[in-house]
Structure 1
Amino acid sequence: MKIALLGAGHIGETIARLLHGSGHYDVTVFDKNAASLQPLAAEGIKVQTIENVGPGSAALVRGFAAIVNALPYQLAIPAAHMALEAGCHYFDLTEDVAATKEIMRIAEGAKTAFMPQCGLAPGFIGIVAAHLAKSFDSLNDVKMRVGALPAFPTNALKYNLTWSVDGLINEYCHPCECIHDGEKIDALPLEGLEHFSLDGTEYEAFNTSGGLGTLCETLEGKVKNLDYKTVRYPGHRDLMQFLLGDLMLKNDQELLKDIMRKSMPATMQDVVLVFVTVSGMKNGRLVQEVFARKIFAERDGARPLSAIQITTAAGMCAAVDLFRQGKLPQSGFVAQEQVSLPEFLANEFGKAYQQSRQVESIG
């Protein structure tokens, strides 16, 4: 399968190596930064520089079976239009709600498939929640919690950069879709603070945008309460609220991003926490089911991988691979909840989640 991969950044390079290494894909990586492409070219992966992403550059990717977009969320809509014009299938990692809704519109009547949100959250978390929900006669609560956290927090925010600063601030600043008492509403970001303990470690969780993917539309009218919250170490939310609200940096997000890039070190030593609870009625009884995983960075070998690289790249590669195998719709909009969790975990790429440590002791 011939793949045009857009973006050779932190996640894109990992996707490129995984797809290329599987032997099932002919991958060409496009990026505007030639220096970012050099390590991949040295490994025998095809690379090409690209100035702009959008309809005008569709000629560059015409003839490819699919576009895999690993660029920042702001380029999701132009990349989807590019795929439509070129006649390619389309996959991306976007967590942006507005971009996803526009891609749904672009996919209407398309002869090719459009599958955004193929990462961790949105992405894998929605696959898990939909799988658990299917086994209930009726649903009360679906709670989805995900955190990409430094393994060794040392600063006041108890946070290090593990992924895109653009995506981080975006999810902290936009309304959060959820279902409350059967009604679909928009909740405020950074609100809904809760605390919990897992494996002896204390965490907090709060509303952030985009993690639900399309589950609100899928489960509307079927669930009483549905929400997604980001997991952090205690105290993080209050400091972000101070920065975004009290210092009004919500109105100058580029300044905040610049400050974080300059003052907050990135880390490859991270852990990803996935925590989903679903409650409802089964055979006349009120029951709850839980799915919990901790995925750790891989420090062995010549090329260490962070936990967020592993989980995000695995989500994308598994989606593309299941599509190649004919296990997903081949045209129109494809939602994450259309992916079978058992098939995902059995996939050569999805096994990254299956082989992680399952958390058994949950109160």
Structure 2
Amino acid sequence: MKKIVVVGAGKIGATIARLLSHSGDYQVVVTDASAANLSAIEKHPAVSTLELDIRAPSKLAEVLKGSFAVLSAVPFHLTVTIAEAAAAAGVHYLDLTEDVASTREVKRIAASAKTAFIPQCGLAPGFISIVANDLCKKFDKLDTVRMRVGALPVYPSNALNYNLTWSTDGVINEYIEPCEAVVNGVITEVPAMEEREEFSIDGVTYEAFNTSGGLGTLCETLKGKVRTLNYRTIRYPGHAAIMKALLNDLGLRNRREVLKDILENALPATVQDVVIIFVTVTGWKDGRLVQETYARKVYGEEIAGMMHSAIQITTAGSICAVLDMLADGTLKAEGFVHQEEIDLDMFLKNRFGRYYAAPQVENVRAA
């Protein structure tokens, strides 16, 4: 069995450890600075825990020695520390970050590494880029790529129409940081929370707006090939207006810890959620302008006797699928690996990637 170190014992880290250990092919060590978080990790013969403050990279590098890979499931500001420790220990590195600056640093570290560095292995960025690139390959010439993703409560019950289903730090970061996009063929930055739109799926109305990080490395990959490329987060109508008031009118974009405390103490968590994936590509085939769309909904489900939320399943399932593909030789084992290099069919056939194989959504229309 391959030894895997998972850094971070939160909801996603715990789900990663659970999926890998129940597969029977991995021995998992979960590290975290919080003994309380570690105590909540499911007891399993293939799982051990270690209390560790990773802000001391040399200590983490020592823990990583002899491992096949390290998987980062911690907030984005710790990403580079873990990547540097992976390089020092000579192990493969995978993360879930949506942070653009962190990913650039990981790419810099990967340039001289002898192992694989695969950032952004979650839902968005991550799976969304795999889907978009698969659709792009069907065209002779591209025009527009629009990517929309949301993790939403099935039963919204507050003014924000939202429950905490993912990292609070990550949500705040993507609501504040500038967003990459391609506008009229030029890579540019657009402001977060802007360019709001509405559409409906299966009779339910949603809004979507710019958020940071969801494109991953697609701007670089599709540079010079598309006229328009953008990513927006899906929420229920009304969410963006309230969040903009908190961030801008009350100035909480400059007081992230205060905003985090408010959200974590006001919004309950839930496992009754739905992940919506909606990608539309337009371009030319055989001289005609045509459109291809990928639309899916993924719900929470029970895995190995325990209920998991949709965002837990999709995020943890994605990074586990990429790890599997690295372990079996499907992916290259050295240097920086872009998510869009991963084949969609191979991903969906993987034992972890199969959680994304939901039926196609048919009833989609602009509001």
Residue equivalent to 1:162: 165
TM-superposed CA distance for 1:302, in Å, is 4.0
Residue equivalent to 1:196: 199
Contact 1:54 1:79 in 2 (8 A): no
Deviating runs (4+, > 6 A) in structure 1?
A: none
TM-superposed CA distance for 1:135, in Å, is 1.2
TM-superposed CA distance for 1:301, in Å, is 7.1
Residue equivalent to 1:24: 25
Deviates more, 1:55-64 or 1:225-234: 55-64
Question: Please, which of 48, 51, 60 is the counterpart of residue 53 of structure 2?
Answer: 51
2-side partners of 1:343 and 1:143: how far apart? Answer: 23
Contact 2:199 2:364 in 1 (8 A): no
Question: Please, which of 180, 184, 188 is the counterpart of residue 185 of structure 1?
Answer: 188
Contact 1:272 1:295 in 2 (8 A): yes
User: Structure 1 residue 296 and structure 2 residue 299: aligned?
Assistant: yes
SS at match of 1:30: strand
1-side partners of 2:49 and 2:64: how far apart? Answer: 12
User: Structure 1 residue 106 and structure 2 residue 109: aligned?
Assistant: yes
1-side partners of 2:37 and 2:329: how far apart? Answer: 33
Which residue identity does 1:29 align to in structure 2? Answer: V
Residue equivalent to 1:133: 136
> Deviation string for 1:262-298 (max 9, x for gaps)?
1111111110000000000011111100001100111
1:214-363 matches, within 5 Å, as 214-298=217-301, 302-354=305-357, 356-363=358-365
2-side partners of 1:85 and 1:109: how far apart? Answer: 11
TM-score, structure 1 length as denominator? 0.97
Contact 1:55 1:85 in 2 (8 A): no
TM-superposed CA distance for 1:41, in Å, is 5.8
SS at match of 2:22: helix
TM-superposed CA distance for 1:112, in Å, is 0.7
Query: 1:152 and 1:46, CA in 2 relative to 1: closer, same or farther beyond 3 A?
Result: same
Structure 1: which 5+ residue stretches go unaligned?
none
User: Structure 1 residue 3 and structure 2 residue 26: aligned?
Assistant: no
TM-superposed CA distance for 1:237, in Å, is 0.5
Aligned residue pairs total 362
TM-superposed CA distance for 1:37, in Å, is 2.3
1-side partners of 2:172 and 2:40: how far apart? Answer: 29
2-side partners of 1:299 and 1:20: how far apart? Answer: 16
> Deviation string for 1:170-214 (max 9, x for gaps)?
000000000011000000000111000110000000000000000
Which residue identity does 1:132 align to in structure 2? Answer: L
Deviates more, 1:248-257 or 1:205-214: 248-257
Structure 2: which 5+ residue stretches go unaligned?
none
1-side partners of 2:198 and 2:136: how far apart? Answer: 24
1-side partners of 2:21 and 2:103: how far apart? Answer: 27
Residue equivalent to 1:15: 16
TM-superposed CA distance for 1:316, in Å, is 0.4
2-side partners of 1:186 and 1:300: how far apart? Answer: 40
Contact 1:54 1:81 in 2 (8 A): no
> Deviation string for 1:101-157 (max 9, x for gaps)?
010001002111100100000000000001100111111100000000011111111
Contact 1:293 1:359 in 2 (8 A): yes
Query: 1:120 and 1:300, CA in 2 relative to 1: closer, same or farther beyond 3 A?
Result: closer
SS at match of 2:219: helix
TM-superposed CA distance for 1:49, in Å, is 1.5
Residue equivalent to 2:67: 64
> Deviation string for 1:313-358 (max 9, x for gaps)?
111000000111111111110010010000000000000001x232
Contact 1:53 1:82 in 2 (8 A): no
SS at match of 2:129: helix
Contact 1:122 1:213 in 2 (8 A): yes
Which residue identity does 1:68 align to in structure 2? Answer: L
Residue equivalent to 2:118: 115
TM-score, structure 2 length as denominator? 0.96
Percent identical among aligned pairs is 54
TM-superposed CA distance for 1:307, in Å, is 0.5
1:92-103 matches, within 5 Å, as 92-103=95-106
SS at match of 1:28: strand
Which residue identity does 1:186 align to in structure 2? Answer: E
